[in-house]
Structure 1
Amino acid sequence: MTDDNEHRQVRDGANIADNFGAYQTASKDDYHRVLASGLVVLDTSCLLSLYLYTPQTRRDFIGTFSAIGPNLWIPHEAMQEFWENREHIVEEATKLSQRTSDSLRSLEIKMLMEMQTWGRRVSLSTDQLDSLENILSRAVEEVQQKILSTGTRNDLSEARDTTRDPVLRELMGALEKNVGPPLSQSELENAIQEGQRRLANKIPPGYMDRNKADRSASGDYIKWEQTLREAELRSRDVLLITADAKEDWWRRSRGRLLGPRPELFEELAERTGKKLFMARPDTFLRLASNLFSLPVTFASVDNVLTVEGSEVNIDRRPETHDIHARAQLIAMAYSEYLSKRGIETKPATQDQYGSFTANINGACYFFKFRSAATVLRVDMLGSISQAAQQEGAEEGVILSDAIPNPITLAILERNGVAAIWRAADKSWSGNAYADQKGLTASS
């Protein structure tokens, strides 16, 4: 009798990671490889955000363009959107402080009215009420003056004139031949129709723009089609840099951006046989500065993260947001302390919330904030060492705003972890490991 197995066609099985590349975490090496030899695509949002950064951040960001060179590419549609929205963003940048100051004035009037109503109901004397109103008015006026003095963008005061726009001047120097060609009229009409079809069927990208006019609603798809064509022509992996955090571009979980939508990853793979990577502007700046050894400051990365809205990358719980804010503040303070000692710091390439590396006394260290609640967790101590290895550092160092007690010090000592904390008098202290390595001293 013939065994049924003889007639059964046997096929080799696939690895669990095969055909599921969209769900795999991109490594630091992946990003470095695509930055060095892939197609690095800038979205409209990256270009327009240059008007919102500080001048130093803008120079640092544009400096990465020259380092990447001809591998940097901008879809024609993205460039068109930039020019269409440039004047609006310039006005937004130059008038934001004044509008905020005016809004405070409106709020002051409402507060004074509420105070007067309250004063009458509790039978407050005129003198008492006048005294409280004066305190409020002086406080609001002081805040208004601070807003106008620190937030006014004098560098963009003449930016409406394209010949006096510092952003355009710097971009033109860095992007001489980096913009792709437009679609032909027939190709554009087909792309608009396809964009409308995708919008109606919630197929990425672009369906989140359904409230825009016909051409604008298809803008994301037009950029995507132009990117697919360029990637196919060059036969290279793609790294898309965008500040757009909408769900029709990103695979998300609990507010965190995990990578490109699987549909986009697979579409590029089918058209080109290549891989799609995505990064936010702050991640891009960290990665590029590390790969090309650019003198990008921690403050620049923090500025980008602030402008783009770090909340899209983090847990939405208020207590978690507070921890991340403290992390950035403590990391920035220690980074500035090291800078005063003549020690250069570089933002970490993958880790967020203020992590950075620095070469001190011939050794490279990776610094990361830990709150009092997590500093003793064994898995957290292990993650510090793992992150340090990924950043090419010899050792991980904990930064904290909580002075450790004897038990904490003993656990850190047992695990061989250096730790630094900020004292109330703003001096930096450390455990024995940190002191031995020259990481702490009075500031």
Structure 2
Amino acid sequence: MKTKFKEHHIIDFVEQIYKDAIIVLDTNSILNLYRYSEENRGKYFEILKKAKDRLYLTHHICNEFYKNRLTIIENRSSFKDTIKELIEENQNKLLNIINNYSGPDKYNSALSILKHENELKECIVSELETSLKKIDSSIDKFKQDLDFNYVQGKDPILEELVEIINDKVSLELTLEETEAIYKGGIERYEKEIPPGYKDNHKDSIEKFGDLIIWNELQALSVKTSKPILFISDDRKEDWAIKFKGHDLGPRKELIKEFIKNTNNLFYSITTKNFIRLISESYKIKDTETLEEETETIQKNIQQKEIDNTRYNLTRLQIWKNNNIEKQKQLNQTQTPLEEYFNAQKALEKIKRDGISLSQEELESIMNPMGKFINAKESLEKIKKPMDDLSMTQDKMDKIMNPFDKFISAQEKLKGIKNPTDNFANS
């Protein structure tokens, strides 16, 4: 059974994978080099160098790395100024409250008392200003080992990484292969076939990034005739099995598909576990702080992804709710429109046949016309929102044209109203 259902017994093959597999680092596993403290970065490089003969990257992972690297460098190189700005801005707000004796309602009583205790107030202001200077001094003294010049100038981190990886990068997928992945990805995501479907909320082709990497991993395995050990901190349910807070490794469907397409094994672990694996294999000591920082970075990235997903889902729900309301408004204009056509037919019949109508009968025809006037005003108010519902100009014209006809119908009605009154009185 184990040989036919390896995906369900993968734990029995993990040691073999650890020993023989090509090791592929995911984007965040190499971007961490720019997030780590100087000490932990050095330790991580030590680990990568020990495993360098087995390390590979895929083409798409490299593209993601180069794209996101610039943002991380900018954030890291400017974080001291940003922190100083944050502290100064909030301290100035506090000083403003104290100097003006006015702040949030729950503090106003205390501030009113402080107004009469000038000595205490001057002491507080002096201490705050002194503390700000001390904080600024501490921030200035902090050694920032990463400079914005890394973007265009010499980047020792990138140079060291390039030396380790060398040319061990998978081939770029052809345009035909990429388009096939996009096309197949639509169906996979609808059926929630891993990986990548948890990114279905992303814009355009970005949602297929994980699926592209997945295909690259399989192609690399076929080319090298080796199993793949994928180092990734993306532990969403479309990659990993989660059970009561525990990470049980890659999805069984992924392992099964990989074996079917490559005849090789697949497994994935986090960056923290990769650090532990290599450090134990090569007797590298003092990796505890590196593991802790790696775990902290992973949690921060996951929380940011959760926040972004919630934000996007909230925006989507608001959009849906707005469109539902606009559709209701649109539907409310349709009934008066139908009534108008019925009234128009009745008027034409009156004129053609010279039918005598009572006042009550005449009003029954006029009332829909009045409703239609209100419908016209409503429709004009929602004309722009209707554009948001992707209504074409042709469709809008079809709705608006009857209003012009209605004006003519009104004039016709006025012209025949007196004759019908005569019929009623005769």
Give the TM-score of the pair, scaled to structure 2.
0.61
Whichever residue aligns with residue 156 of structure 1, its letter is D
Supply the distance in 1 between the matched residues of 2:190 and 2:127 (Cα, whole angstroms).
56
Residue 30 of structure 1 pairs with residue 20 of structure 2: no
Q: Distance in 2 between matches of 1:63 and 1:37?
A: 20
**Contact (CA 8 Å) 2:77, 2:146: kept in 1 or not?**
no
Residue type matched to 2:131 in 1? A
- TM alignment of 1:215-364, pairs within 5 A: 215-295=205-285, 297-309=287-299
* C-alpha contact 2:114 2:121 (8 A) present in aligned 1: no
Question: Which string of whole-angstrom CA distances, capped at 9 and with x for unpartnered residues, describes residues 59-93 of structure 1?
Answer: 32233333223422111100011112221111011
- Which residue in 2 is equivalent to 1:138? 130
1:394-409 map, 5 Å? none
Does the 8 Å CA contact 2:74/2:148 hold for their aligned counterparts? no
1:149-164 → structure 2 map (5 Å cutoff)? 149-150=141-142, 153-161=144-152, 163-164=153-154
1:55 Cα deviation (Å)?
2.8
Given residue 272 of structure 2, which amino acid in structure 1 is its aligned partner?
Answer: D
Shift in CA distance, 110/267, structure 1 to aligned 2, threshold 3 Å = farther
Output one character per residue of 1:242-291: Cα deviation in whole Å (capped at 9) or x when no partner.
13233322222344433112322222132234332222112111110111
Structure 1 runs (4+) deviating above 6 angstroms are 310-313
Amino acid at match of 2:141: S
**Aligned equivalent of 1:189:** 179
TM-score (norm 1): 0.59
Q: Is the 8 A contact 1:40 1:238 kept in 2?
A: yes
Q: Structure 2 residue aligned with 1:39, among 22, 33, 39?
A: 22
8 Å contact 2:73–2:146 — kept in the other structure? no
Cα distance in 2 for residues equivalent to 1:249 and 1:65:
24
Q: Give the 3 Å change call, closer, same or farther, for CA 240–190 of structure 1 in structure 2.
A: same
CA contact (8 A) 2:114 2:120 kept: no
Q: Aligned pair in 2 of structure 1 residues 75, 112: CA closer, same or farther (>3 Å)?
A: same
Q: Secondary structure at the match of 1:309?
A: helix
Structure-2 separation of matches of 1:36 and 1:238: 11
1:207 to 197, 206, 215: 197
Q: Which structure has the bigger radius of gyration?
A: 2
Provide closer, same or farther for how the CA distance between residues 96 and 261 of structure 1 changes in structure 2, counting only shifts above 3 A: farther
Change (3 A) 1:40 1:146: same
Name the structure where strand makes up a greater proportion of residues: 1
Q: Is the 1:74–1:180 Cα contact (8 Å) retained in structure 2? A: yes
Other structure's SS at 1:187 match: helix
Q: 1:82 aligns with which of 30, 50, 65?
A: 65
CA contact (8 A) 1:38 1:239 kept: yes
Q: Does 1:121 align with 2:104?
A: no
TM-superposed CA distance for 1:140, in Å, is: 4.4
Aligned residues: 294
Give 1:36's aligned amino acid. K
Q: Name the aligned partner's letter for residue 286 of structure 1.
A: R
Of the structure 1 ranges 73-82 and 257-266, higher mean CA displacement relative to structure 2 is found in 257-266
* Matches of 1:205 and 1:91, distance apart in 2: 31
For 2:247, the aligned partner's letter is L
Counterpart code for 1:168: L
- Give CA deviations for 1:396-434 in whole Å, capped at 9, x if unaligned: xxxxxxxxxxxxxxxxxxxxxxxxxxxxxxxxxxxxxxx
Between 1 and 2, higher relative CO (CA 8 Å, sep ≥ 6) is seen in 2
What CA deviation, in whole Å up to 9, does each residue of 1:199-226 have, x standing for no partner?
3443322223234332321111101110
Amino acid at match of 1:142: K
Q: In the aligned structure 1, how far is the partner of 2:204 from the partner of 2:63?
A: 16
Give SS of 1:240's match: strand
Q: Which runs of 5+ in 1 are unaligned?
A: 1-13, 314-443
Q: Relative to 1, partners in 2 of residues 1:23 and 1:36: Cα closer, same or farther, differing over 3 Å?
A: closer
Q: How far apart are 1:141 and its partner, in Å?
A: 4.3
| Aligned-partner SS, 1:153 | coil
Larger helix proportion of the pair: 2
For 2:192 and 2:263, the matched residues in 1 are separated by 24
